[in-house]
Every structure is written in structure tokens, then in C-alpha cells.
Structure 1
Amino acid sequence: MPKIKTHLWYDQQAEEAANFYTSLFEDSRVTDVITYENAGPEGQTVKIVTFELMGQEYIALDGGPEFRFNESFSLYVECDSAEEVDHYWNKLIEGGGEESYCGWLKDRFGMSWQVVPRILDELLQDPDTAKADRVMQAMLKMRKIEVQGLLDAANAA
């Protein structure tokens, strides 16, 4: 049975990115680094780095500057608490990352991430549609999703 793996293209930052990501998440590790000398553009060294984030396998390639990440692809981090949201949000934007809206950010390598508290889905699926709509409207105004702000919107009359 075939395996589906996520393949990520970097411009000479594959190993640095893999080491950074695996340092953030428990049960994560770099499993393989293959180096090819004079294989990239203008004779650059190319690395293929295989790593796991919480059991999910990824392959990172030093492919050169031809292709860049964009927001059409992101990694989704579902958090159990406001503290987890803060932890991952702050770590992922440090060193040159950029905040966006609605829980989206780009890390310093250009990878898009969504850092989302689990309670958001619960509140958006509330049978009280007015409550769910207030939560959605509050979330749309946020950069980092603030759990207390969601709860305040849910409980507003």
C-alpha cells in the first residue's frame, strides 16, 4: 500500500528548517539527511532531509530559489489550550516569521502555519447559530487566535 508523504521545497534551508520544526514538537525527529555535492544550481550542495513531526513524515529538499511556499499550503496545529497557542505561535514567528490573520502565520522559512485552539471548532459548531456567528466574527478580526476573545464573543448577549 502506498504512503503519502509531504514534500517541502526549500532554498538551501532544508536541514535548518527540519531541525527547527523537530525542536518545537514532542515525539519529533530528523530521521535521515542525504547530501549531494555539486547537484544544485551553480554546483550547490543539495540536501534531502527526512523528518517526523509527531509521527507524520515529511521530506525537505534544498531545491533552490525557483519555487516558494505560499498560503495555499499550510500546516495546521490544533492546540488544547491558550498556552499551547501562545507557545507555538511565538516559537514559529521568532527569528523573522510574519503574523497574518485568523491564526495564520509564516515562519522564517516562508512556510505557512495555522495555530488554532481546539475550542474554536466546538464554538463554531454550536447549535446556537447566533453564538457561532459571534465567534466567527471575533476570530476574523484576530491575528493570533485568542481563546478568551472567542469565549467572550460566545457569551456576549
Structure 2
Amino acid sequence: MPATRDDLMACFRDLGIEVSTVDHQPVFTVAESGDLHDRIPGGHTKNLFVKDKKGRLFLIVALHDAEIDLKKVHQVIGAQGRVSFGNADLLMDVLGVEPGSVTPFSLINDRDTLRVTPVFDAAMMQHEVLNYHPLKNDATTSITAQDLLKFARACGHDVQVLAVSEQAKAAAL
């Protein structure tokens, strides 16, 4: 059984991570979440669940307005060939969430098999506070960037912080 929001919050408490959560109507796309950006401070984000031609899985997490070239991102993240989106069944099987609810917090459901490589965009990690769905798209949980890394590592994942967005690449120049 995938972790629930209560399981996630218990994990944060066990790790000494303070978060705040705002409940809202379900949002399925970045475009639908516009008014939340005004109500909830911090960096708002998007999550891309992708696989390479060898079946390796990646969770790319970036700011909501980040431009990510899916034809070239494989060169940055170390994928074998171009990446494509993982389907809904694979997403549920590996991360225990549905499309529209993808979040780095879903790494809690990949603690045993460690099938996913999390990739956090360097530009996103410059924000002190970041916002993600707590496993369902009817709420937004705020967490510090450092605590996000702490959480991912506690789930057994070796996070890659890389310049995957055009914004992060420009900032690196």
C-alpha cells in the first residue's frame, strides 16, 4: 500500500522536519495552480516522471515555470538516450501516486526498491522554501530546500542537484 498523507506527515515528524500544509481544490496542472502562488509563499514546482530507453526512472523536479528540453535533458541527468514520460501504471507502481499528484514526497513509496533517481533543478534549490503536493493534488505542503534533501536522503535516495532547466543553465554561465 502506498503511503498516505498521514504517513508522510509522521515521517516528517520523525525526521524533525517542520512543514506547513494548505488544503485546496485539486489541481492537475501548473496552469490550474496559479492562484495558489499568490496564497502560498515559496517556490512553486512541477515534477516530471520520466524513463530512458533502458528503463531507468527519473523524477525531475523544477520550478513551475522552468523550461526543460526533453530532447536534451538525458545528457544532463545521465540517462541512456532520450527520455519519455512514464505512464500512469508505472507511476502508481513505483511512486504510489496518480498523474497530477507527482511530488518528490512520493519518494517515501520508493524506499525499498530505489528505482527512481531524483533530480532536483539547481535553480529550484536556490529557493529557501519549496511547495509540493503531499501525495495528492488537493493540498500543498511547504518545506525548506535543505529539509527536502534531508527527506529524500532519509528515503534512501541519492539526490542529484543539476542544472536541468534553461534558467539554471543560464545562471551557471
Range of TM-score over shorter length: under 0.3
Mark the structure with the bigger radius of gyration: 1
Q: TM-score scaled by structure 2?
A: 0.25
Higher relative contact order (CA 8 A, sep 6+): 2
